[in-house]
Chains A and B, each alone.
Chain A
Amino acid sequence: MNSSVSVLLFGITRDLTGQSSVSVSLLEEARVGDLLTQLHRQYPQLAAIRSLLVAVNGEYAETDQILTPNDEVALIPPVSGG
């Protein structure tokens, strides 16, 4: 059973993809790490970024966290506030 998750993009990830959110198809019980793999496949230009973290529902997520269809997912490139 395939489902898709919408991923919010900010900063350099938005510039590199040209989009502020992208849809990624994932198998059921997919984890954050699978999402990252899929995103890198869809957008090889993301490899230019020093590091990429993922937030799920506004909290930093580990790569083994399982995603559910209603999750709000965001890609977090290196932060530079202040």
Chain B
Amino acid sequence: MITLTSDPIDVTAALEKLQSSQAGAIDIFLGVVRDNTQQRAVDRLEYEAYDRMAISEMQKIADEAQQRWPILNCIIIHRKGILQIGETAVLIGVATAHRADAFEACRFIIDTIKQTVPIWKKEVFTDGEQWVNAHP
């Protein structure tokens, strides 16, 4: 299940969707907005996406994970819009029979999202702002 949403991420609902009688392991990764980056105080993050492509690229990552690991259920939810400190920006959930597969698949999915999915975040500081990764 792949979702790009402007609404807060419901972790409990995601966990319910992941559950399966065959799953001995469920990994949920949350990417959360923190209050600082490189010693600068962050006020908020602003996320935007090229929606159609963000969804199709996330689907590709989920498909590749399904091929590489024996995944029972997989969920990717990514937020858009303005996020305050402490809010969840992304949730990755993987259910597998055994824990090693869940850990590996979960890590693969979040790491690859950061490399290929057309979603952009702007860090807004108390004294300025910048698009992450954009500058040399």
Instruction: Report A's interface with B, CB cutoff 8 A.
Output: 8, 10-12, 15, 48-50, 55, 58-60, 74, 76-82
Contact with A along B79-119 (1 / 0, CB 8 A): 00000000001100000000000000000001001111111
Interface pair A12/B114, CB less than 8 Å apart: no
Interface pair A82/B114, CB less than 8 Å apart: yes
A81 touching B134 in the complex, CB below 8 Å, given contacts A55-B50, A74-B53, A76-B50: no
Give the contacting residue for B120; candidates A8, A11, A58, A60; CB below 8 A: A11
Main secondary structure of the interface of B (DSSP, over half): mixed
Interface pair B78/A49, CB less than 8 Å apart: no
Q: Which A residue sits closest to B54, measured CB to CB?
A: A81
Chain A residues near B114: list those with CB within 8 A: 79-82
Number of interface residues of B (CB under 8 A): 29
Interface pair A8/B50, CB less than 8 Å apart: yes
Interface pair B78/A81, CB less than 8 Å apart: yes
Give the contacting residue for B131; candidates A12, A59, A81; CB below 8 A: A12
Chain B residues near A76: list those with CB within 8 A: 50, 118
Give the contacting residue for A74; candidates B50, B78, B117; CB below 8 A: B50
A66 CB, nearest partner CB in chain B, Å:
20
Q: How far is the CA of A48 from the CA of B13 in the complex (A)?
A: 42
Interface pair A12/B134, CB less than 8 Å apart: yes
